[in-house]
Structure 1
C-alpha cells in the first residue's frame, strides 16, 4: 500500500513538527472570532493533545495570542508582523489596488487575487464594487484547483515542473472524473484562445457563482497567481463574461504586467511541455 503523504513529507530532511505548527497557523481565517484547540484540531486533522502543545508554544513565541477569551487563540503580533513583511514584498499589489478597484466598480463584480496554497488556491485580497451588492468571499477562503476559475487559471499557467509540484500535494480531481492533466490542457487552450479561464459549470465548486480569471506572474513569486472577477450567475452570465468582463479582466492584468515590467511575457509557458 502506497504512503498517502506527499513525497517531500517522506524526505528525512522534512521537519514534521514544524509542518504541524504551520498547519495550526494556516487554520485561521479572516472571519474567525478566535479558535479553540478543538476547532483547530478539527480543521487541521491533528490530535487535540498535539494542538494544545503547538498552540502553547506558538503563544509563547508571539505567533498566537489569547487577548480576552482564554479558550480561544488569535493571530499574534509576531505573525501579523511577518504577514506585513510578506505583503510588502508583493510590490505589484500597490499599483493593482486602484486598477482592480476600478475594474470591480466598472463590472459590478467581486475582483479577487488568489495564490496556490498547497492543494488549493487561497484568496489573498478582494475588491468589492462600490454602491453595488456583490458576493461575499473572505480573505483566506480556499477553493479547489479544478473547481474554480482561479484554480483553472493557475493550473493553465503552470510549467511542467510546477505542475509536478502541484500533484505532490494531491489536489482533488475534477468533479467530472477527469484528470488534472486533461484540465490543465483545457485551461491552457482557453488562455491561448481568449486570455482568461472559465470553469465549466459541471466542475464548479460553487454552482451559483460565475467567474473569469487571468493568471499573473511576478519574479517575487515561485509560480503563477490569479486575478478573477466573480458574481452570481444572474449578474454574470456566460455571454457577459465573453462580451465584457473576461476581456476587461484580461486587459487590466496585461496593463498591470506592463506597469511592473513584465510586458511581452504571458503568464503561461509557450507549450504544455515547457
Structure 2
C-alpha cells in the first residue's frame, strides 16, 4: 500500500475515534456540553473539537442551541438507536406485551437484556400508578441490585456469576445484596418460584419483580419486569397477582422466541 494511503487511512481512523469520544462525553448526568467542556474531557485541541463538532452537527449527530451555546445529542443518533432496537428479536417480541402489561397493571413494565456485566433496557412503559418523566430505554443498570439482573443471571452457575461480577458489589441502599453468597441465595429463590424480586435495593421507595425470558435453546436472553413505587406495587397484597401475570407474559414472549418448556438450557444451573 502506498505510504500516502496508509497515512490517509490512519488519519481517518483517528478522526473517527476522536468524533466518537466527543459523542461519548454526553451522558445521563451531562446531556448538554459546551465546546470548552469537550476540550477538557477529551484532551483534544480547541480547533480539533470545533471542527469535529461542526461535522457532527452537519450530519445530525449533535444539535446546537444558539441561545445557550450548548450541544446535545441529535436526531441521527436517535434514528440509529431505533434501527438497533428494531433488530432485536427480544424487543420486537416483547414490545406490545410490555405495553399491555403496563396498561393493565398501572405499573412500569420493562424488558432488559444482559450486556456484559450490566443490564440494558430494551423497552420501558409506564402505567398510570408509576409515571416517569423520562425513558429507561438505552440505560444500563447493575445486575446484583435489580430484579431484572437476578432474572438475567438465573441460568448461570455460581462459578459463572463469580467470574462475571466478582464476589463483592456496590451497596446502593442498606437493603442491597452486596456479596456473592447473598446474591446466589436470592437467585436460587427466584429460580425456584419463577421470578426475582427487588425491594428498595437500588433506590428507596421502589420495588420490582422480574421473570426470565428464554429463546428456543432454553437460554435466558432477556427479562420482563413490573416496577413502581412501594405504594403502587403494594406487595403485601398484590405480589402473588403481579407475579402470576408477570410469569404468564414472560412465558408468552419466550414462546414467541421459539422456546418450549421441554427445551434444555445450554448452561446448567447451580
Judge same fold: TM > 0.5, yes or no: yes
For 1:147, what is the secondary structure of its paired residue?
Answer: coil
Residue in 2 aligned with 1:197? 196
Spell out structure 1 runs of 4+ moving beyond 4 A: 17-20, 37-41, 50-56, 159-162, 174-180, 265-269
Check conservation: 2:150, 2:196, Cα contact below 8 A.
yes
For 2:258, what is the secondary structure of its paired residue?
Answer: coil
| Structure of greater Rg | 2
For 1:146, what is the secondary structure of its paired residue?
Answer: coil
Structure 1 gaps, min length 5? 1-14
1:111 positional shift:
0.4
Structure 2 gaps, min length 5? 1-13
- Rounded to whole Å, the distance in 1 between the matches of 2:76 and 2:158 is 36
Residue in 2 aligned with 1:138? 135
User: Which one has a larger percent strand, Structure 1 or Structure 2?
Assistant: 2
Residue in 1 aligned with 2:245? 248
- Rounded to whole Å, the distance in 1 between the matches of 2:45 and 2:205 is 36
Check conservation: 2:177, 2:183, Cα contact below 8 A.
no
Match of 1:60 among 30, 52, 55: 55
Residue in 1 aligned with 2:104? 106
Residue in 1 aligned with 2:256? 259
User: Counterparts in 2 of 1:53-132, with a 5 A limit?
Assistant: 57=52, 60=55, 62=59, 64-69=61-66, 71-76=69-74, 78-117=76-115, 119-129=117-127, 132=128
Q: 1:174 to 1:259 in 2, by over 3 A?
A: same
Q: CA RMSD in A?
A: 4.2
Match of 1:206 among 203, 206, 231: 203
1:249 positional shift:
0.7
Q: 1:36 to 1:196 in 2, by over 3 A?
A: farther
1:232 positional shift:
1.0
Q: 1:64 to 1:218 in 2, by over 3 A?
A: farther
TM-score (norm 2): 0.70
Check conservation: 1:28, 1:35, Cα contact below 8 A.
no
- Rounded to whole Å, the distance in 1 between the matches of 2:249 and 2:151 is 15
